[in-house]
Structure 1
Amino acid sequence: MHLLEQSEDTIIGRVARGSSAKQAAALMNYGNLVAILIPFPLLIFWFGASMLVYALNRHHPDPRVGHYTQQAAYRFYGVTGFFVAVATFIPGGGWIWHLAAWIVAALILIPWSILDLRRIYREGWADILLDDEGHPLLGAVA
């Protein structure tokens, strides 16, 4: 069972709630938005916390959670990794380069994160029946 997934025992068995899946799918995008809007010190903390969020949600019983988490992670790690590599060549002594890098990162991450959040909240998220090990029962929707 995943830490961020709420499942509960019911008369018909264990159920992963659709509302929980929707929240889990959106979590990585919300973290990206907050980290890019308030970069000091949240960007550094989110870089570490995002790895935990990714690890917990990538193999969620609802595969859409894993998909949205993976897409948000690709964007976040791609942008931050690119700017870490580029920062090696940024001339010292001026904040203008750092500000320009932050603006470019925000222009990439913010629209895509908002677009993903809109997709997540427009989709229907059904409850999923789980077996004893926490895997979805094939074709079973609560």
Structure 2
Amino acid sequence: MTEPQSPRIATAESARRAARMMNLGNIVAMVLPFPLLIFWFGASMFVYAMNRHHPNPKVGHYTQQAAYRLYAVTGALIVMFTAAPRDNVWVWVLGWVAAAAALVPLSVRDLRRIQQDDWQDTPIVDDHHHP
């Protein structure tokens, strides 16, 4: 007979770190938009998939909010840059400034909220029951 295993734990600190990932990526991608925004757009989908259903539901909440903002801003940039004249660099700069102005302050706000939030260790529930 096997002894029952103690439950695995997602520590409070690991949850806080996971909750920060999307917002930190958003900030870095806005500070160095080319080429990082392009790469972060793809990598963010992995981060989202990894953290949206974290054992601590607060991680999922913060990740989802950061993702909503990133995808809204990048969607708006795609529309704007598709219609933008290719020979006017100021349209591109204005788009980047507007995107950064929309994304960075809200990401910083969430990083502060994450830091101040009360994080607890969370047991990891195994949904796959083996006989």
TM-score when normalising by structure 1: 0.83
Counting only pairs closer than 5 Å after superposition, residues 110-125 of structure 1 correspond to structure 2 as 110-125=104-119
The offset of 1:108, in angstroms, is 0.4
For residues 72-119 of structure 1, the C-alpha deviation after alignment (integer angstroms, 9 at most, x for no partner) is 000000000011012122122121000000000010011000000000
Corresponding position of 2:74: 80
Task: Give the letter aligned to residue 33 of structure 1.
Answer: I
More helix by share: 2
1:87 and 1:117 map into 2 onto residues whose CA distance is 29
- Higher strand proportion, which one? 1
**1:96 partner letter:** W
CA distance in 2, matches of 1:129, 1:59: 14
1:54 and 2:48 aligned: yes
**2:91 partner SS:** helix
Answer yes or no: is 1:40 the counterpart of 2:38. Answer: no
Confirm or deny that 1:101 pairs with 2:111: no
Q: Given residue 121 of structure 2, which amino acid in structure 1 is its aligned partner?
A: D
How many percent identity over aligned positions? 52
Residue among 39, 57, 63 paired with 2:57: 63
Gaps of 5+ in 1: 1-10, 135-142
RMSD of the TM alignment (CA)? 1.3
**Matched residue SS, 1:66:** helix
Cross-structure match for 1:23: 17
Q: Which runs of 5+ in 2 are unaligned?
A: none
1:12 Cα deviation (Å)? Answer: 4.0
Secondary structure class of the residue paired with 2:34: helix
